[in-house]
Structure 1
């Protein structure tokens, strides 16, 4: 039961952050939305993580593919963390 609740909250946190990243990327298409309070909050939450990938992945023309890689890596990290939680739980 505890394993399920830990898995649920870890998965929920990663899913919320993934949706925040998608929202932030979609907001970049409408510059007026970025200057709102929600836009500034999403910028503070998402830009440090996206900045890591933007350093290594240049845009292709006008298309920035770093958010796609960032979301893929976030899901990869989530799945790895869930496996580690399961391994630790079953050790005891």
Structure 2
């Protein structure tokens, strides 16, 4: 059981890092999200981010859904590490 919880906590941490990289890369408008490795990053992170984009649509050109997604992952990761 301990191995499962540790693995899940590690996955949540790694996925949080992927989301942060995804958000940072959106600051560069010349990135083509259809080329590798950016397409793979988008395929991995977009399904999770789309859940939050339905809740919080972009306001004034700013997408706040990644912030909510990362906060939720941090809460889950903290809960897993506390166990």
The answer, yes or no, to whether TM exceeds 0.5 is yes
Report the Cα offset of residue 7 of structure 1.
4.1
Return 5+ residue gaps in structure 2 as ranges.
none
Question: What SS does structure 1 have at the residue aligned with 2:50?
Answer: helix
- Normalised by the size of structure 2, how large is the TM-score? 0.79
> Is the deviation greater in 56-65 or in 73-82?
73-82
Cα RMSD, aligned residues only: 2.0
Matched, 1:19 2:17: yes
Q: Whose Rg is larger?
A: 1
- Normalised by the size of structure 1, how large is the TM-score? 0.73
Report the Cα offset of residue 17 of structure 1.
0.4
